Chains A and B, each alone.
Chain A
């Protein structure tokens, strides 16, 4: 049931590069990464690919397939016509290192800027108590495998290199939302999310959600709720007035701004 697949794979580095043509035999049930591995093993031993688990769990093999940001290991060849030429390029938002491998250190830099989780002391019996319904929102965000496809597809940095210093990106808005919704966290990060992380730069065009291989509803469940939480704090005179006269969301009590 195998057939010969035609591929165009971007080969090169920062000094330049081009799409190289390869024809490789593939068989039923295979994914794009299998085809690339066969190219690597038989035709181009030095083809650089970043990959690890090959099961959609580690988020290493992010690239663009026919122009769409996807995981190489989760893109089945059966999604394409047998006669179709599949074009694979590296992610186009990050500096390229070689072939399909890009320098994703932007994301690790942003991770360092995040304010961390700050819990109160444990309960008297040495344990912590949280209700399942209170952790579920955060659990959705913690499904993130850090493939950085959302960061890659986000036009705020994809199309505007100069926005990188001021914009943390969807992956880290997830993190802000996770911490802000954490039932035990003691910090208030709304000012930071709007200021340092650049939440206001997001124009909610939802590409991050579209490309998320984990199906996390990044925009609806994390970014927009964060924007609303920021609005509570910064843009809503009624909430401001309420807090001045003692009517406030008591659920936020005990949190200190960072």
Chain B
């Protein structure tokens, strides 16, 4: 490195693993000189994600009030456990499962979001402070990134994406079923249907804008010119991909909102306004 031996000996007190306080760096005591409100985004992210985790955990373990005909909460779909009548459209293969039916399926959308490239950025910043914001020193002494267990498992993201596509199909099916009334007659629609429709659109936008999806449909190629259809798909997904973070947030809100709405319906807090 650039320093002379003489200089290094003067500053031995600073640990060699130090970052911006290290012996060769410009001596500036502040961890950052940023004057803007850089802490706002990680703080907001932390609060919202934390609130979602609390709510989702509560709802996943709750095990009740997830179905109000014809609406099934997305947290419980597909309902494969010991589900209430009308909620299971794919049978009850895990009827013996003693806990909430949500726990059987929630691992897939949860895993998808947990390993998502956007969410990783967001929670590494907001929860791990690694780094809290750009050019703001992180508090950790050691850092190995995603090279070791458990974070090396982030590389399974594509498998969660495959699962997320299946979940997306199931949720779409749920929306179709939501065009019924309480007597299972077709051609009806209520506020719940609309919310579920909006939610499933956002879920699909989030799922299809995924980086692994972008890679799978065409990103892995070296010759777009030899695969015109995949190039078109890649171009489309690339466009969506630039808004992946937005879709991640919107769909997080919408999925919680739809669940909350169905929860309140099922708990008879109010009635679903029917359009027709």
Contact = CB atoms under 8 A, between A and B. Distances in A.
Question: Are A and B part of the same complex?
Answer: yes
Interface of A: 10, 12, 14-19, 64, 66-69, 87, 89-90, 92-97, 102-103, 105, 131, 133-134, 153, 155-156, 158-163, 180-183, 198, 200-207, 210-211, 217, 219-220, 224-225, 227-232, 234-236, 249, 251-252
B146 A202 contact: yes
B183 interface: no
Nearest to A207: B134
Contact of B2 (A95, A220, A224, A230): A95
Contact of B33 (A66, A96, A155, A231): A66
Contacts of B125: 205
B147 A155 contact: no
A201 B26 contact: no
B81 interface: no
B142 interface: yes
A161 B2 CA distance: 14
B111 interface: no
B276 interface: no
A249 B117 CA distance: 24
Interface in B96-136: 117, 120-121, 124-125, 130-131, 134-136
The 10 A-B pairs of least Cβ separation, nearest first, read: A67-B33, A159-B19, A131-B225, A67-B34, A95-B24, A201-B145, A207-B134, A228-B215, A200-B147, A235-B155
Given A14-B7, A68-B135, A105 B130 contact: no
B131 A207 contact: yes
Residue in B3, B17, B28, B34 with the greatest tally of chain A CB atoms within 10 Å: B28
Nearest to A185: B222
Given A14-B3, A69-B135, A202 B145 contact: yes
Nearest to A100: B26
Of B27, B135, B138, the most chain A CB neighbours within 10 A belong to B135
Contacts of A230: 155
B251 interface: no
Contacts of A236: 155, 158
Contacts of A15: 7, 10
Given A14-B2, A102-B26, 19 more contacts: A12-B26, A64-B33, A69-B134, A92-B26, A92-B135, A93-B20, A95-B2, A134-B222, A158-B19, A161-B17, A162-B16, A201-B145, A204-B121, A205-B131, A211-B135, A220-B241, A225-B215, A235-B155, A235-B156
B158 to A, nearest CB: 7
Nearest to A184: B222
A42 B48 CA distance: 52
A160 B10 contact: no
A235 to B, nearest CB: 4
Contacts of B211: 220, 224-225, 228
A160 B142 contact: yes
A133 B224 contact: yes
B13 interface: no
B1 A133 contact: no
Given A203-B120, A227-B155, A228-B215, A67 B142 contact: no
Contacts of A94: 25
B23 interface: yes
A253 to B, nearest CB: 10
13 contacts: A14-B23, A17-B26, A19-B28, A68-B135, A153-B134, A161-B18, A201-B144, A202-B146, A205-B130, A217-B242, A225-B211, A228-B211, A228-B215
A243 to B, nearest CB: 13
A201 B151 CA distance: 10
Contact of A156 (B120, B143, B157): B143
Contacts of B37: none
Most buried by A among B143, B222, B223: B222
